[in-house]
Structure 1
Amino acid sequence: MLVLYREPMDLYDLVIHETRSLEPVLGLRIIVHASADRAGAADKVGYKSGCLIETDADRVRQVLSNLAANSAAAGAAEVEVRVGRARHEGHGYVELEWADDGPGFPATLLESAFERFVRGTTARSTGGAGLGLSIVRAIVAAHDGTVAIRNGRPLSGAVVTIRLHPSARG
């Protein structure tokens, strides 16, 4: 069982801070955007304040680090991260979308990418153990969130979408 030490945290601020430290280490260009709320809130200040979640910041840093390492291992040079409020199936979430310009997930891995020891062909040549996305899924699930993968827009590579519940405090 994964133990979390939750505290109120603005996910947008956490992503900004962590990606700044990941960029030089992994050689990625990471651009972070505050997305407009799909339900209607468009101003960045009001929207950004809606990114408050009850989270274990160290675990979220681990998620971001794993996503960045996967993008770099796949050969991506650029990553776009969007953080903001979203609605899905009638529920409000704080959503993080991580998209890179790498080759994307092989079609054969789209169903199994979150399983332990599953690796793409590029990970085999770079020494990845195939645990990164399974750890991401475990951390997100421990936060009562969801995670999904696909290929495509905005950069035509891999896209990972994480949905977390907003804090009742904000």
Structure 2
Amino acid sequence: MSDQKISRRQMLKAPLIGATAVAASQSGLLCEAIAQPQRSHSPAPAGAFAHNVEAVGYTDMEHRPAFKMAIREVKGRWYLYTGHFWDAGWSIVDVTDPAKPRVAKFVAYPTPNTWTLQVDLSGDTMVTALEKPFANFGGNPNAPFDEGLLIWDIADPLSPQLLSH
């Protein structure tokens, strides 16, 4: 395993493509692009790239790089829930207008040195994970941390209520 740390700048590049693909796939925009792929006979460029994907909006997530994301629709509004690497907590991003995504709420987790990367949704339930961060990602191996699962009621999409740990 490498001792090289991943910078915040490197992590900020990934969520834009991921969030765009998630929002596009949920809205049906990606389906046509997948159904009609373009063939290219030129060699692939170095680094990450995507075909038939257009960035339609951007948010810097209030300087909190997103990790795992899940999206849901409630009463005509679309919400993207995401965990973070360096900020303990979860963001709820209103992506109803994909050109203007906005962080509608940040739900802070009180214990530092705890990763809150994982988010999964099912109906009005959100499940989030707590774990010890790797030292090469900024975690302190000697500091306390929390672990386990949190189960939330998200019937009100902007006010998650903790049900269980």
Q: TM-score with structure 2 length normalisation?
A: 0.31
The TM-score with structure 1 as length reference comes to: 0.31
